[in-house]
Amino acid sequence: MIIEKSSTWKDNFLERLENDGPWDRFTLYQMNAEVQKSKLITEFSGLQAPKFLKDLNILDHQLEVAQTVIEEMHGKAILADEVGLGKTIEAGLVLKEYLIRGLVKKALILVPASLLKQWVDELNKKFYIPAIGYKKKVAIDQYDVVVMSMDTAKKSPHREQIIEQDYDMIIIDEAHKLKNHKTQIYEFVQSIKKKFCLLLTATPIQNDIFEIFYLVSLLKPGHLGNYEAFQTAFSAKKRSFEQEEFLKELVNKVMIRNRRNDTGFDWTSRQVETFQIDFTEEERQVYDMLCELKNISSVFSGSFSMITLQKEMCSSKEATYLTLEKMKQKVVNPEEVAYIDEIINKLAALQINAKAEKTYEIVQNAGDDKVIIFTEYRSTQAYLQWYLHTKGITSVLFNGKFSKNKKDWMQQLFKDRAQVLIATESGGEGINLQFCHHVINYDLPWNPMKLEQRIGRVHRLGQEHDVQIYNLAIKNTIEDNILNLLNDKINVFEKVVGELDDILTKRA
């Protein structure tokens, strides 16, 4: 094998011999030899990073992940720990190890914009990795470790600049954002060279099995076969148990997932309750009328708008009204308009929201404990705040689009002043609410991982109580279908990725 050498030292030494100096001090010479010895990496295996990170409290499962990624997965992996187990620490450890070993000189970290600052801070303060956050006018060729938001990276001229940099390592946080292979960001990540690559996501499958196929194919094209082969083998109808086991085994060669229970910590448990609520008679009447709309006017024949209205009706009249009013504008036929007006009148006349009453009951039963309510709709959010206020319950609103400052502020207000936090989405990236252990899912999303992420805000390291989860669904409505679908999706996830903590009550 060829041995790479450089002649700089030799030339320099010969020159000094010629001129008889200048010579270095022998003490410094000896010290240098000692330093070199103490920094020597004497083994292929094992981790060097921990001895450079004495102030960092690294947990056992995190060390194990870093070692497995480097020694068994050869630096390409999906880190899929459950929320709250420290995927960032694991990724930082792997990066640090490669930097120390000289295998990585330049690294790029792609993250959602809301997490950029946090990543830069952690890399610098916890790992002593001089990372910079990309802003306009930063000359990225001047820096070895750059943290950039995904949205910036995928656009010109940034994408071209990135490709030019020839990074040795790419880390992508919240990698489930790459589940769709037709998106610009997927295509971009596919096109950059990935000598070493980590994809971080707690939810490698959100909806269907193809998401894991695309994620793995980004990391290691061919590992799960090509698209045709995969489709033939794993499309929903033909799947057999043996195939699922086989797929799980393959996936586990490129993916590590720790569950809370594996970590040796005393995790509190989850109690999930699903309440199936009856509409009031008046609500039921409006719901049925809404369902009839598709037979009455062509404007409502699209299944998407129907589903939206049905879901909204299960949430609040306020949410329903806004959509209905908007769609009414498109209706021309006076008879159809009259029908809609009738619905609107009935909506306006509704006095009781059955779900909100149940919510109030739960909040009341929680005594002095804090409660988080998640809803899908802004108008429901406002309604609930008003409704709880009439019952003498204080609440703060939360929304994923809030700036980091406002999020911190709301989190603090919730902690100090209010009993209830009403949030429109997990928005959760970056908020930690361990001081609360009641979560009401007022509306159910289609995607079980969204539920998992909501719960993860509360059920994380530092939670001292069992976490109570209340899922609310209205009987004999679209929410029955949503519950079924959520169960199916959870099944796929568990078969391919591994078990999940309880999200829904187990199906009988």
Positions that interact with another protein (CB under 8 A): 1-6, 9-10, 12-14, 16-17, 20-21, 23-45, 51-55, 70-71, 74-75, 101-103, 128, 130, 168, 190-196, 217, 220-223, 225-226, 228
CB of 192 to another protein, least distance (A): 8
CB of 457 to another protein, least distance (A): 32
In 3D, which of 377, 369, 375, 395 has the Cα closest to residue 458?
A: 369
CB of 246 to another protein, least distance (A): 16
Q: Which distant-in-sequence residues (6+ apart) come within 8 Å of 439 by Cβ?
A: 371, 372, 374, 454, 455, 458, 467, 468, 469, 470
CB of 337 to another protein, least distance (A): 54
Q: Closer to another protein at the Cβ: 99 or 362?
A: 99
Strand-pairing partners, residue 373, are: 422, 440
Q: Closer to another protein at the Cβ: 44 or 241?
A: 44
Within 10 A of 252 (CB to CB), how many other CB atoms are there?
A: 15
Residue 152 CA: distances (Å) to CA of 155, 390, 449: 6, 45, 26
Q: Closer to another protein at the Cβ: 193 or 330?
A: 193
CB of 193 to another protein, least distance (A): 5
CB of 18 to another protein, least distance (A): 10
Is residue 359 within 8 A of residue 385, CB to CB? The reply is no
**Is residue 200 classed as helix, strand or coil in its secondary structure?**
strand
Q: Which distant-in-sequence residues (6+ apart) come within 8 Å of 467 by Cβ?
A: 268, 269, 270, 271, 437, 438, 439, 455, 458, 459
Q: Closer to another protein at the Cβ: 179 or 194?
A: 194
Q: Closer to another protein at the Cβ: 30 or 484?
A: 30
Within 10 A of 277 (CB to CB), how many other CB atoms are there?
A: 17
Q: Closer to another protein at the Cβ: 18 or 464?
A: 18
CB of 486 to another protein, least distance (A): 32
Q: Closer to another protein at the Cβ: 26 or 304?
A: 26
Number of C-alpha atoms within 13 angstroms, CB side, residue 21? Answer: 4
**Is residue 224 classed as helix, strand or coil in its secondary structure?**
coil
